Amino acid sequence: MNKEAPPNYVAGLGRGATGFTTRSDIGPAREGPADFSDALAKKAQQEDDDDDERFQDPDNETGLFASAPYEEDDEEADKIYEAIDQKMDERRKARREAREKEELEKYRAERPKIQQQFADLKRGLAAVTDDEWANLPEVGDLVGKNRKKTNLRERYYAVPDSLLEKAKEENQYMNTLDAQQQRFGGFQTPSPDTGMMTNFIEIGQARDKVLSLKLDQISDSVSGQTTVDPKGYLTDLNSVVIKSDAEIGDIKKARLLLNSVISTNPKHAPGWIAAARLEEVAGKLSEARTIIAKGCEECPKNEDVWLEAARLNNPESARTILANAVQQLPQSVKIWLHAVKLETDAKGQKQVLRRALEFVPNSVKLWKAAVNMEENPADARILLARATELVPLSVDLWLALARLESYENAKKVLNRARTHVPTSHEVWIAAARLEEQQGNDKMTDKIIGRAVTVLSEKGSVLGREQWLQEAEKCEKEGSVGTCQAIVRSTIEMGVEEQDRKAIWMEDAESCISHGSIETARVIYAQALKSFPGKKSIWRRAAFLEKSHGTRESLEELLQRAVRFCPQAEVLWLMGAKEKWLAGDVDGARFILTEAFKANPNSEQIWLAAVKLEAENGEYERARMLLQRAREQAGTEKVWMKSIVLERQLGNINEALAMLDEALVKYPTFDKLWMIKGQIEDEKGELPTARVTYTKAVKNCPKSVPLWILSSRLEEKAGLLIKARATLERGRLLNPKTPELWCEAVRVELRGNNISMAKALLAKALQECPSSGLLWSEAIFMEPRPQRKTKSVDALKKCDNDPVVIATVARLFWAERKVDKARTWFEKAVKVDPDRGDSWAWYYKFECQHGTEQQQQDVISRCVAAEPHHGEQWQIVAKDMKNVGKNVEEILKLVAQVLV
């Protein structure tokens, strides 16, 4: 009976009774939500939870497998997947960033910032003068003011009578005295206390008398001369620093802080020094001296406090202070040296130094100072002998003693120095230099070799780089033999066999950049001993001799080079050229003959031999050499040189016949087509030349000069439209070619079609934004006030372009800024010394603004550079009228042509 009823039990169900539910079965009523919004939020949250469960990602283990245990395998798998995702992201990162950058640039090009749109106008503000700035009207809301004035109604107010009366009285003069003035005697003011009248004249005289008394006190009553310096008075006033309230407050805070420091810790020397310097900065020098004196009493064993006290006092007081200091610190080298500086005569300084050496006999600084004070070498030698006994580990003292001794005694001194300081390389180098001075070169090599061995055994850490630095140091001090010995003994130290050539070449280039030519020469010599068959090393060594050596040393080096590298054509040619420049034509012919034996079918040697004969007027020999070269070598350049020689000699028909034969063999060699077209153009056969150029551009569509020559031929014939069409076809076949765009712009300029030229130039700069040739044209197409702005844009796009740099120099030249123009011309020829137009502009500038020496300097540097490129330079140099002229003559002709 006490058991609970089973679930769903209804009493009396067997008798046919039915169940019913009462309020007590349901339970008491519950309170509803206080706020209807809370119920809605709760319902929305339930709906979201339902959505999350229904649409949950199966791969999302957070919700799907939240109840599963998280083990080490799961952690390892997560790390692997994270690494894979990171790797994939890195692979796509470069492409994604490039795409984002391209989209950003495209967006900026379509929608530039307002700042970019007005950049040129902002730069134009630099040209506004001060008067124009001053005349700019003030900014104001003039429209609002006018509107406000029109809306206001005019109002009138009644003026009181008192104001009118006052205005009337201001403009009237009084001609009578009132009763008070008549009683007290006019305008005299009575004294309020005594009734006496105030006399302002007597007050002024008394003030002048007081001022004169003060000036008399300043003056010197004995000599009659004033102690005030009239010239330096204003200077002294300027030197007075007026401190602001903030600075005074900072000084007070610092003084309070430092007072706390020295009171809590009086043995702290830096606190006393800082407090004294604070008072010095504040202008209270006496207070600073008092503080530092207390510091000396509190910290007598600190040398910095004594030195600070000596600095703050005058020389006489400083001597007394330092005398007390050496009693407290007799071993302080700084105090002794400061005491030496305070002595005015040499005798007193020597006495102080000798007294100091009695207390500190092992101080190298004191011994050096004492030796430097001696004027007699014998006395200095005695001092150094004593110094080396007391300080045997000082290398500098041993070396100084060796320099003052004779050869035999110096050897003994250096031997004793090696005994006391066995790990010093300076002693060994000094011994080698001593032998070099006596002419014992073999002993120099032997000493350096022993030095390297002994120092390595003693555990010296001196490496190959340090040895090379010592070699450069010896070269700068004039010991070339010792420098060579060091390089020979240490060049292979710590270098792998496969890396020797590269490392040695780097060492040589480094030495050349430092100005150590002898060191670089020895490095090349050692490299050539190890690699005698490397023509690159021979070339580097030859260029070094050409730049810094003599002609004899260069010829000797080249003779050795061709013995070891007979197949190196460039070495043969360098040797022949040096002989030819020296005026030895037979010697040059002999070298080229030997070169033919070693390289029988070399095109360069054939052409060099032809050039040698042509330059010396031996045209028949040159023609025979070219005929043999066509038969044996038969290259396109040989045929071209043959045709050019016949053209120079005036044999036009033979040149054309050879051209036809050569074009059959080499139809894709564009220079042959150019020569043929130019010959036909010079003869006046324009239709024939047009046919030649048409065939040429079909066979050589990538040759830019052919398209330009074809266009100029059409322009010469008066067919401007056909010239434009020719250049258009050339640009289609050769996109992004600035030369074709520039020629198209110049065609329009020569046809006086300025608007079309500007439009073409804008398109050209979009396609070739870094072309200096196009930017130069753009600069000079701008009006004069805007050229400087355009040049700034050009320098940003192509900073080191010689054409742009020369153009900027010409702008400064036009503005009469001579120094700036010279600087920019100098930069242009340094950036590209092979561009002849830059040299020609520079020479023309110096002819107008420079001296004869500056003009000759430009000519000599241009001859040394031997330029071969440049628009006007190539036109003038390849003109048949200028055949055989040297670089100086070509330079002057180009300077005359430039406009």
pLDDT digits (tens, 9 = 90+) for 587-640: 888 887 788 777 777 778 787 887 877 777 788 888 888 888 888 777 888 888
pLDDT class for 704, splitting at 50, 70, 90?
very high
> d(Cα 404, Cα 414) in Å, to the nearest integer?
12
829 and 792 within one domain: no
Closest by CA position to 828, among listed 811, 847, 814, 815:
811
pLDDT class for 176, splitting at 50, 70, 90?
low
First to last CA, the chain: 130
What element of type H or E holds 210? helix 200-218
User: Identity (one letter) of the amino acid at 815?
Assistant: E
pLDDT, residue 732, reads 92
Residue 804 CB burial class (10 angstroms; 0-12, 13-18, ≥19): buried
824 and 754 within one domain: no
Q: Is the pLDDT of residue 845 over 90?
A: yes
> d(Cα 404, Cα 406) in Å, to the nearest integer?
7
Beta-carbon contacts of residue 416 (< 8 Å; ≥ 6 apart): 388, 398
> d(Cα 621, Cα 599) in Å, to the nearest integer?
20
316 and 264 within one domain: yes
**Residue 220: inside a domain, yes or no?**
no
pLDDT, residue 891, reads 92
- Torsional sign, CA 289, 292, 298, 303: negative
Q: What's the chain's length in residues?
A: 899
> d(Cα 450, Cα 432) in Å, to the nearest integer?
11
Cβ of 192: how many Cβ atoms within 10 Å? 7
pLDDT, residue 381, reads 82
373 and 252 within one domain: yes
Q: Is the pLDDT of residue 193 over 50?
A: no
pLDDT class for 201, splitting at 50, 70, 90?
confident
> What mean pLDDT is predicted for residues 649-670?
88
Of the listed ranges 37-41, 50-54, 746-750, 751-755, the least confidently predicted one is 50-54
**Residue 341: inside a domain, yes or no?**
yes
Q: Is the pLDDT of residue 46 over 60?
A: no
745 and 809 within one domain: no
What element of type H or E holds 663? helix 652-665
> What mean pLDDT is predicted for residues 140-152?
49
- CA 336, distance to chain mean position in Å, is 45
**Residue 52: inside a domain, yes or no?**
no
pLDDT, residue 157, reads 61
Higher pLDDT: 374 or 890? It is: 890
Q: Is the pLDDT of residue 465 over 50?
A: yes
**Residue 614: inside a domain, yes or no?**
no
pLDDT, residue 236, reads 46
For tokens 């014992």, name the residue: 440
Q: What is the pLDDT of residues 485-523, one digit of tens each?
A: 888 888 888 788 888 888 889 988 988 888 888 889 899
Of the listed ranges 6-10, 94-98, 584-588, 804-808, the least confidently predicted one is 6-10
811 and 792 within one domain: no
- Secondary structure (DSSP) of 233-282: HHHHHHH-----HHHHHHHHHHHHHHHHHHHH-TT-HHHHHHHHHHHHHT
> What mean pLDDT is predicted for residues 196-219?
65
Question: What CATH number is associated with residue 885?
Answer: 1.25.40.10
Angle between helices 425-437 and 464-476 (to 10 degrees): 40
pLDDT class for 78, splitting at 50, 70, 90?
confident
Q: What is the pLDDT of residues 590-604, one digit of tens each?
A: 887 788 777 777 778
Residues above pLDDT 70, as percent of the chain: 82
> What mean pLDDT is predicted for residues 702-709?
92
For tokens 């009823």, name the residue: 5
Q: Is the pLDDT of residue 672 over 50?
A: yes
Contact 557, 522 (CB under 8 A): no
pLDDT class for 200, splitting at 50, 70, 90?
low
Q: Is the pLDDT of residue 153 over 50?
A: yes
Contact 888, 872 (CB under 8 A): no
Q: Which of 390, 406, 428 is the last residue of a domain?
A: 390
pLDDT, residue 826, reads 93
> What mean pLDDT is predicted for residues 403-418?
84
Cβ of 70: how many Cβ atoms within 10 Å? 11
In this structure, what is the dihedral angle of CA atoms 825, 827, 832, 835, given to the nearest 10 degrees? 0
Q: What is the pLDDT of residues 210-244, one digit of tens each?
A: 666 666 655 444 444 444 454 444 444 444 454 55
Q: Is the pLDDT of residue 467 over 60?
A: yes
768 and 890 within one domain: no
pLDDT, residue 559, reads 84
878 and 742 within one domain: no
**Residue 366: inside a domain, yes or no?**
yes
- Secondary structure (DSSP) of 592-620: HHHHHHHSTT-HHHHHHHHHHHHHTT-HH
760 and 856 within one domain: no
> What mean pLDDT is predicted for residues 699-710?
92
> What mean pLDDT is predicted for residues 413-438?
84
Contact 680, 689 (CB under 8 A): yes
pLDDT, residue 221, reads 43
386 and 278 within one domain: yes
pLDDT, residue 718, reads 87
Q: Is the pLDDT of residue 683 over 70?
A: yes
> d(Cα 177, Cα 188) in Å, to the nearest integer?
13
**C-alpha gyration radius of the chain:** 49
pLDDT, residue 155, reads 61
For residue 773 the two structure tokens come to 């040739």
Q: Mean pLDDT for the chain? A: 80
For tokens 């005994």, name the residue: 419
Higher pLDDT: 363 or 831? It is: 831
Closest by CA position to 504, among listed 531, 466, 472, 473:
531
| Triad 579, 582, 588: Cα angle to 5° | 20
In this structure, what is the dihedral angle of CA atoms 314, 315, 319, 320, given to the nearest 10 degrees? -30
> d(Cα 812, Cα 821) in Å, to the nearest integer?
5
pLDDT, residue 711, reads 93
> What mean pLDDT is predicted for residues 387-408?
82
Beta-carbon contacts of residue 645 (< 8 Å; ≥ 6 apart): 610, 614, 619, 622, 623, 626
**Residue 384: inside a domain, yes or no?**
yes
pLDDT, residue 52, reads 47
> What mean pLDDT is predicted for residues 96-111?
85
> What mean pLDDT is predicted for residues 414-421?
84
Domain, as residue range, for 891 = 801-898
Q: Which of 747, 774, 799 is the last residue of a domain?
A: 799
372 and 259 within one domain: yes
pLDDT, residue 240, reads 46
> What mean pLDDT is predicted for residues 346-370?
83
Higher pLDDT: 237 or 381? It is: 381
Q: What is the pLDDT of residues 242-251, one digit of tens each?
A: 455 566 778 8
Q: Is the pLDDT of residue 287 over 80?
A: yes
Beta-carbon contacts of residue 60 (< 8 Å; ≥ 6 apart): none
pLDDT, residue 237, reads 41
**Residue 385: inside a domain, yes or no?**
yes
> What mean pLDDT is predicted for residues 14-26?
57
Of the listed ranges 113-122, 223-232, 252-261, 341-350, the least confidently predicted one is 223-232
pLDDT class for 30, splitting at 50, 70, 90?
very low
**Cα→Cα distances 312→266, 302, 341, Å:** 20, 16, 15
pLDDT class for 760, splitting at 50, 70, 90?
very high
pLDDT, residue 895, reads 92
User: Identity (one letter) of the amino acid at 476?
Assistant: K
pLDDT, residue 394, reads 82
Contact 501, 455 (CB under 8 A): no
**Residue 108: inside a domain, yes or no?**
no
> d(Cα 395, Cα 417) in Å, to the nearest integer?
7
Q: Which of 766, 799, 832 is the last residue of a domain?
A: 799
pLDDT class for 18, splitting at 50, 70, 90?
low
Tally of domains within the chain:
3
814 and 744 within one domain: no
User: Identity (one letter) of the amino acid at 759?
Assistant: A
Q: What pTM was computed for the model?
A: 0.57
